[in-house]
Chain A
Amino acid sequence: MPAAILLIAFTHYPTVATVIDSLFSKATAIRPSRFVGVLNYQRMLDDPIFWKVLANNAWFALGTIPTSIALAILMALFVNRSIPGRSLVRMAYFTPTVLPMIAVANIWLFFYTPDIGLIDQIASWFGFSGHNWLGDPTTVLPAIMVMTVWKEAGFFMIFYLAAMQNIPPELEEASQLEGATRWYYFRRVMFPLLMPTTLFVLVNAVLNSFKLVDHLFVLTKGGPDNASNLLLYYIFETAFSYFETHFAAALTVVLLILLSVMALLQFFLLDKRVHYR
């Protein structure tokens, strides 16, 4: 019961309230809020910034998720062997996860700063001139993606590492005796056995790609010209900078629907291919 009360008070009621709010108009001094039906949603369809941030978010997800998963598997494979200083390497890979996103963003702000930042300083040794990574609409989104991958991969690595250590070593020995190469073993045995982990990581990564916006506050505030704006940050701006709370509620409902559809899709599509022991 206490759990149900908490869930209702802090999850279910706000969700329902958001849906209801999204059907009302903004209250002003002379006009109180009134029921407008799907007007907020119609406005959304005509809002170019909404489509822009949605596209950004899609690119952001496509750019960060496969890369961080691939990197996580690679790193886990690397530290799953007996190499000197193994625990040190594991810790090093995991460090970015421990840091708060705001701190990470500040570190990368220094990397990306034009001319005096780390990247430009190194580039200048090789004769490249400075570049405003975060100020250029074409490079700002990739720059943020690189940072996100850097932060996420170590976290996912831990899950892969745990899963790999659960695979009995005899399986590799048995395939070795049959003449399977390491790649064949990875492709036909290890990767399929890691599928539950991949599903878990995938769901998390997708949620994160819509949830994580802390870095935008520090790095770009969504700019320039919304080139790095993401859906949740746009909702935040709409609600708390422009005080369009009802429009923001409508945006939130869309975000919720998007996330649930994706989570369901992943479960149903991948479930068939996932082997749970």
Chain B
Amino acid sequence: MSRIDIRELAKQWGLVVAVDQVSFTVAKGSLTVLLGPSGCGKSTILRLIAGLENVSSGSIAIGGNEVTHMDPAKRGVSMVFQSYALFPHLNVRENIIFGLKVRGISQSERHSRLDESARMVGLEELLNRKPAQLSGGQRQRVALARSIVSRRRVCLMDEPLSNLDAKLRAEMRDEIRSLQQKLGLTMVYVTHDQVEAMTMADQVVLLKKGRVEQIGRPHELYERPQTTFAAQFMGSPPMNLLKLDLIEERSALAVACGGTLSPDRLTDGYIGVRPEHVQVGSSGLPVRVSATDYLGAETVLRLAHGGQTLFGKIDGHRRYNPGEQLHVSWSEEAVHRFGADGIRIEDPYRASS
């Protein structure tokens, strides 16, 4: 009914290519996050799906119907804007039922649908307030209710949580996710926050400069990033990438990698290791501590080897001082290999996980 198929979608403004040959599918009732840094075209893709921008080439289908050039209102999508787009002169009630009034839905039905959606997001007490009298989180709920009340099966969200503080953001994240699952909505959710992507998504579409970098489940992106960009975008602090041709002590590196990789296979491209897999020990790659960030449960070490920087996430009880010389190593399973072009190399000597 409400699956979304996007095929070779492209959008250009003059010579600027904002979206370049993007294809992906959102399964019915699932949540797909479009993730990427600002300017990667994720919001543009969302606006193309909504019909707020004209498609340059490619196609969009919703529920099996081609909608590429269809009027936005006829596509059966609702949208939550980053700024919430509430009508400032209307109270919460009027804001929520605005669309129902436009479509000429009867008063009794308007009433029951308003009650239902207001209850779902906890706005019953605030129906007579104006948006200016609401907090950021409450405005967000009005925008959600407006989307729910439309009973459209596809919901598009454009960075809906970016104007909220950290605590509220975590709360709303869970709430949006559980609403989406309860109502069985097909949701496309745009964010630049990898934590939101990791916690909410059934599927993540990672974008860079208008192109798809990787599509997969959150753990696939985290555990098997296909490019160095994906490796560094997911996770905080990001994955350590060591540029191999800058490393003199190849044998020390081979030891750090568990000893089974032979030094002559570590010649060009990159080695990637997640900070949490870095272990401090007596053997391995020699590094110097350049800074320590104590975070309570853990400590993030900033380590220098030659001109390259590594992050290590270690137990919070151990103390290190800047300037200290250490050796770091990691298990062989923790190693990600990337070619000089930044593309992942599957190790033929290792069973793929």
A188–B97 Cα distance when bound, in Å, is 13
Residues of chain A lying within 8 A (CB to CB) of residue B88: 193, 275, 277
Question: Do residues B103 and A170 form an inter-chain contact, with CB atoms below 8 A?
Answer: no
Q: A171 an interface residue at 8 Å Cβ cutoff?
A: yes
Summed over the interface, the residue pairs from A and B with CB atoms below 8 Å come to a total of: 56
Binary flags per residue of B64-90, CB closer than 8 Å to A gives 1, else 0: 000000001110011101010101110
Do residues A193 and B89 form an inter-chain contact, with CB atoms below 8 A? yes
**Among residues 162 to 184 in chain A, which have CB atoms less than 8 Å away from a CB atom of chain B?**
168, 170-171, 173-180, 184
Q: Which residue of B lies closest to A179 (CB)?
A: B73
Within 8 A of A (CB), among B181-205: none
Complex CA–CA separation, A177 to B88 (angstroms): 18
Cβ of A189: which chain B residues have Cβ within 8 Å of it?
87, 89
Residue-by-residue, is B214-237 near A (CB-CB < 8 Å gives 1, otherwise 0)?
Answer: 000000000000000000000000
Given contacts A170-B81, A171-B87, contact A179 B52 (CB under 8 A): no
- Inside 8 A of A224's CB, which chain B residues have their CB? none
Query: Which B residue sits closest to A195, measured CB to CB?
Result: B89
Contact between chains at B85 and A178 (CB < 8 Å): no
Interface residues of A in 192-246 (CB under 8 A from B): 192-193, 195
Provide the bound-state CA to CA distance between A94 and B194, in Å.
50
Given A170-B83, A175-B98, A193-B89, residue A277 in contact with residue B132 (CB < 8 A): yes
Residues of chain A lying within 8 A (CB to CB) of residue B59: none
| A168 engages B85 (CB within 8 Å) | yes
Q: In the complex the two chains form, is A192's CB within 8 Å of B83's CB?
A: no
Which of B81, B89, B132 touches A174 (beta carbons < 8 Å)? B81
In the complex, the answer to whether A176 meets B85 with C-beta atoms within 8 Å is no
Indicate if B297 sits at the interface (CB-CB under 8 A). Answer: no
Of the residues A168, A177, A184, A195, contact of B50 by C-beta under 8 Å? A177
Contact of B85 among A174, A180, A193 (CB under 8 A): A174
Q: Taking CB as reference atom, which chain B residue is nearest A181? A: B102
**In the docked arrangement, what's the CA distance between A189 and B98, Å?**
10
Residues of A within 8 A of B99 (CB): 177-180
How far apart sit A168 and B99, CA to CA, in the bound complex (Å)? 18
Residues in B whose Cβ lies below 8 Å from that of A168: 83, 85
Measured CB to CB, the closest approach of chain B to A163, in angstroms, equals 13
Q: How far is the CA of A174 from the CA of B77 in the complex (A)?
A: 11
B150 within 8 A of A: yes
Residues of A within 8 A of B83 (CB): 168, 170
Total interface residues on B, CB under 8 Å, equals 21
Give which listed residue, A176, A180, A275, contacts B89 with CB less than 8 A. A275
B109 to chain A, nearest CB (A): 16
Cα A171 to Cα B150 with chains together (Å): 17
A180 contact set on B, CB distance < 8 A: 73, 98-99, 102
| Contact B103–A173 (Cβ < 8 Å) | no
Is the pair A178, B87 in contact by a Cβ cutoff of 8 Å? no
Among A173, A179, A188, A195, which residue has its beta carbon within 8 angstroms of that of B81? A173
Which partner residue on chain A sits nearest B73 by CB separation? Answer: A179
Is the beta-carbon distance between B79 and A177 smaller than 8 angstroms?
yes
Using A170-B81, A173-B52, A277-B132 as known contacts, say yes or no to A179 and B87 having CB atoms under 8 A apart.
no
The answer to whether A176 and B102 touch across the interface, beta carbons within 8 angstroms, is no
A178 touches B81 (CB 8 A): no
Set of chain A residues within 8 Å of B85, measured between Cβ atoms: 168, 170-171, 173-174
Assembly CA distance A106 to B150 (angstroms): 59
What separation, in Å, do the CA atoms of A275 and B86 have in the docked complex? 14
Whether the Cβ atoms of A177 and B78 lie closer than 8 Å is yes
A173 to B51, CA, bound (A): 10
CB contacts (< 8 Å) of B81 on chain A: these are 170, 173-174
Q: Is A174 touching B79 in the complex (CB atoms < 8 A)?
A: yes
Task: Give complex CA distance A155, B51 in Å.
Answer: 36
- B315-341 contacts to A (CB < 8 Å): none
User: From residue B45, how far is it (CB to closest CB) to chain A in Å?
Assistant: 15
Within 265-322 of B, Cβ neighbours of A (below 8 Å) are at none
Contact with A along B137-180 (1 / 0, CB 8 A): 00000000000001000000000000000000000000000000
- Please give 9 more A-B residue pairs, beta carbons under 8 A apart, in addition to A177-B73, A192-B89: A173-B79, A175-B98, A175-B102, A176-B73, A177-B77, A178-B103, A188-B98, A195-B89, A277-B88
Question: Mind listing 23 A-B residue pairs with CB under 8 Å?
Answer: A168-B83, A168-B85, A170-B81, A171-B87, A173-B50, A173-B52, A173-B81, A174-B79, A174-B81, A175-B102, A177-B72, A178-B73, A178-B99, A179-B73, A179-B99, A179-B102, A179-B103, A180-B98, A189-B89, A192-B89, A193-B89, A195-B89, A277-B88
Binding site for A on B (CB under 8 A): 50-52, 72-74, 77-79, 81, 83, 85, 87-89, 98-99, 102-103, 132, 150
Closest 8 CB pairs of A and B: A178-B99, A179-B73, A170-B85, A275-B89, A174-B85, A180-B102, A192-B89, A170-B81
Q: Which residues of A contact B (CB under 8 A)?
A: 168, 170-171, 173-180, 184, 188-189, 192-193, 195, 275, 277
